[in-house]
Structure 1
Amino acid sequence: MADSEPWLTIIGIGEDGWDGLIAPARAAIQAADSVMGAPRHLSLLPRQGRAERIVWPVPFADGVPMLLERRGERVVMLASGDPFWFGAGSVVTRHLEPGEWVAYPAPSTLSLAAARLGWPVETIRSVGLHARPVETLRPHLAPGRRVLALMRDGASVTGLAAWLVEQGFGDSTLTVLEALGGPRERVRRAVASALDWTDIVHPVAVAIEPAGEGCVLPRASGLEDNWFDHDGQITKRPVRALALSALAPRPGELLWDIGTGSGSVAIEWLLSDPTTRAVGFERDPARLARAAANAARLGVERLELVEGDAVTSLADRPHPDAVFVGGGLSPQLVDALRTLPHCRLVAHGVTLETEALLAQCHSRFGGELLRIELARARPLGTKRGWKASYPIVQWRVAW
């Protein structure tokens, strides 16, 4: 094999097996020294050729070193459908240099499902539940949405139906799509509350049309406080909306939420875009566990949580694009955050001591200082009156 040739060929294979492969993919398999894939993928190939057949192990990550050991040989890796749509392609190629590999995708489950359903692909929200918790769907449950979920097996499909009932979306229509593109293909529909099939086969996906009386997760900043389990340590809805507006999340950005409490600010940051990231720092282990549960329930399990003192916990971590300090700002923390390059900071203070510190920081480092005073209408005898909350001072700065 010439040094300039890719040594790895990644081939997407559908349920139609060898017959569905394009000519370059067939040629790569016939010329390969070894072919790696799951047993189901290997069984779709005819018993011919000289290539050694190697079963990809479980868990998937264990197979990557096995693959890399064959660098320099002619190796074919088999994957389902399009290897770069919720597939194994990106997991493998992150370990390779450009020019080491070439890929030949097959039609993805998304495109096959859209063709069966008559749904425009651009209107479908796709979710990989074969490797993620079912709660990942939570932000997408709204009447009128079209969601396609890749599932692990038949049991996960019935589990999805039961979870939708629990969330108040038992009226959702589920289209179960099994073994698309091959001789075993089957497409069936049922309402979530009535789906009890025990003969669902792998590979399987479910098209979801949400319906029911369940609560729809709003997309604007400032969710109602009852979306979060908390012990009172929460940035309340109006103040949280102002904090998130000041933080101004952008796609791909990383937030540090220092003193995360219930995790509400970090969670809403993550809900703003699927590419955002967040780390929550919290000393109290009970609050840390509560924040983790809130994140999982609202479908943003990617929230990273760190227990410990903020100043000592910040070391050796990827630099954030934005930092939120909901309380407990100290001169030491300010000094630590000042070392971060190209960062936006939003800090809140309620006590006189923290308010004084924020005023000093504003004088020294600039930015914007905002005093937030809120009052709610409450019963006052037989009438109503305003009950004021503690004023909050917000310092917003970028450096």
Structure 2
Amino acid sequence: MSKCWLNVVGVTALGTHSLAPEQQALLDQAKIIVGPPRSLPKVRDTDDRFVVWESPLDNMVKQILSYRGTPTVILATGDPTWYGIGATLTAHLDEHEFAIHPAPSAFSLAAARMKWPLQNVKCVSVHGRPVEILHSHIVPGQRILALTSDATTVQAIANILNLRGYGESQLTVLNAMGGETESRIEFLAKNQSTKGIGNLNTVAIDCVADDRAPILPPLPGLPDGAFVHDGQLTKREVRAATLAKLCPLPGQHLWDVGAGSGSVAIEWMRGAPRATATCFERHVARIEMIEKNRVALGAPGLKIISGQAPESFQDVTPPDAIFIGGDVGNESLFEACWAALKPGGRLVANAVTLDGEVALVARLEKFGGDFARIEVSHLDAIGAHKTLRPRMAVTQWNVTKTVGDE
């Protein structure tokens, strides 16, 4: 039996009727029981221990912390560590204060219903999150299980699939899994339907691309045409090399300084789980482009700071990596970036002018790192003949900041 003051207990669509004897004993011993309305059927009006949790999430956390020291149970849907309150509490409580008792997650139940090997499925939550995050996972052959907010989310998912050229994708809506009213609705994205779809559902998506659907994999190096831009774009081959040296890692944060279209920051976020980024851009028209690109390419959480760098660096999440794609020769800009970069962080700067190259050579001498010249030619025509026409060469400096570097 748990000795913690707080126990987070997972339930299925059957609510408290789904609890095993051990979890039921925790419920019996609790002084306070907190949960969403659907977890408290029939009993919330007859037992004054039951409290509906507050929203939004910050209010709920404060509510729970106010019960500290009192035997408390939180009833959560499924597995509380899968996009649930169990994971959230780790930032607010010591691990010895609470225990988690999971029920089968919606992902596990959905995989079982679909007969899909769960290890080969992308599990995503768009419950209370922008549905556009699905964009980065939509590729041919991908199977996705998506937690939703309500019935309207299903229509939004179908709209995104149709927009991307994935209208032949099969959608299976699994309503109230594990409950008495469980049901299943199937249709192709192009034939989207709202009939029979409940507000408590999980969607299984089997991605099938049309013949002309653009292929946008999570690996760096998306086609230049995938971005809205005005020409100020780190081109595909250079961008792939840049991201390889920036090295996107789970949960790390990138500064994209002079972001242009935001291509590097967007691909950084697509490249690693929970990776985040901030774009610094002073041109209003380009900020509008970044806003369009972050939604269309599955990075709606990308932060955009308007204004002149480095003055705009105030009160921004410290970076694990920095990309400088513009104004490379600006020494005060570089110094501010270098000061903000965490020890162990990576900095990559791309120069296309002689002034920029001179500045990078001086920094190479002072800080070390690596130098590369990237020259790319693309197919073109001279009259009736084919040729390879070179693009502007890019000089790239990358360096890792070590402890003691200034």
> Is the shorter-chain TM-score for this pair beyond 0.5, marking a shared fold?
yes
- State how 1:1-399 maps to structure 2 within 5 Å: 5-43=3-41, 45=43, 51-213=48-210, 214-329=213-328, 330-339=330-339, 340=341, 341-399=343-401
Cα distance in structure 2, aligned partners of 1:291 and 1:225 = 14
Shift of 1:303: 1.7
Shift of 1:280: 1.4
Q: 2:215 is aligned with what amino acid? A: V
Does the 8 A contact of 1:234 with 1:264 survive in 2?
A: yes
Cα distance in structure 2, aligned partners of 1:289 and 1:91 = 33
Per-residue Cα deviation, 1:277-298 (whole angstroms, up to 9, x for no partner): 2221112233223213211211
Shift of 1:326: 0.8
Cα distance in structure 2, aligned partners of 1:161 and 1:73 = 46
Range 11-20 or range 380-389, more displaced: 380-389
Q: Give the secondary-structure state (helix, strand or coil) at the position aligned to 2:96.
A: coil
Does the 8 A contact of 1:15 with 1:44 survive in 2?
A: no
Cα distance in structure 2, aligned partners of 1:53 and 1:46 = 6
Shift of 1:47: 6.8
Cα distance in structure 1, aligned partners of 2:332 and 2:133 = 37
TM-score, normalised relative to structure 2: 0.91
The 1:387/1:323 distance shift into structure 2, 3 A limit, reads same
The 1:144/1:389 distance shift into structure 2, 3 A limit, reads closer
Does the 8 A contact of 1:234 with 1:262 survive in 2?
A: yes
Q: 1:12 is aligned with what amino acid? A: G
Does the 8 A contact of 1:255 with 1:323 survive in 2?
A: yes
Shift of 1:37: 1.3
Does the 8 A contact of 1:35 with 1:51 survive in 2?
A: no
Does the 8 A contact of 1:257 with 1:324 survive in 2?
A: yes
Q: 1:240 is aligned with what amino acid? A: R
Q: 1:275 is aligned with what amino acid? A: R
TM-score, normalised relative to structure 1: 0.92
Q: Which runs of 5+ in 2 are unaligned?
A: 402-406
Does the 8 A contact of 2:16 with 2:39 survive in 1?
A: no
Shift of 1:84: 1.1
The 1:35/1:350 distance shift into structure 2, 3 A limit, reads same
Q: Give the secondary-structure state (helix, strand or coil) at the position aligned to 1:395.
A: strand
Q: Which runs of 5+ in 1 are unaligned?
A: none
Shift of 1:220: 3.1
Q: Give the secondary-structure state (helix, strand or coil) at the position aligned to 2:58.
A: helix
Does the 8 A contact of 1:154 with 1:198 survive in 2?
A: no
Cα distance in structure 2, aligned partners of 1:179 and 1:322 = 43
Cα distance in structure 2, aligned partners of 1:224 and 1:240 = 10
The 1:42/1:271 distance shift into structure 2, 3 A limit, reads same
The 1:148/1:177 distance shift into structure 2, 3 A limit, reads same
Cα distance in structure 2, aligned partners of 1:193 and 1:287 = 33
Cα distance in structure 2, aligned partners of 1:65 and 1:384 = 67
Q: 1:395 is aligned with what amino acid? A: W
Cα distance in structure 1, aligned partners of 2:261 and 2:84 = 34
The 1:159/1:303 distance shift into structure 2, 3 A limit, reads closer
Shift of 1:128: 0.5
Shift of 1:261: 0.9
Cα distance in structure 1, aligned partners of 2:91 and 2:22 = 23
The 1:63/1:250 distance shift into structure 2, 3 A limit, reads closer
Cα distance in structure 2, aligned partners of 1:209 and 1:44 = 38
Q: 1:243 is aligned with what amino acid? A: T
The 1:46/1:254 distance shift into structure 2, 3 A limit, reads closer
Cα distance in structure 2, aligned partners of 1:358 and 1:56 = 55
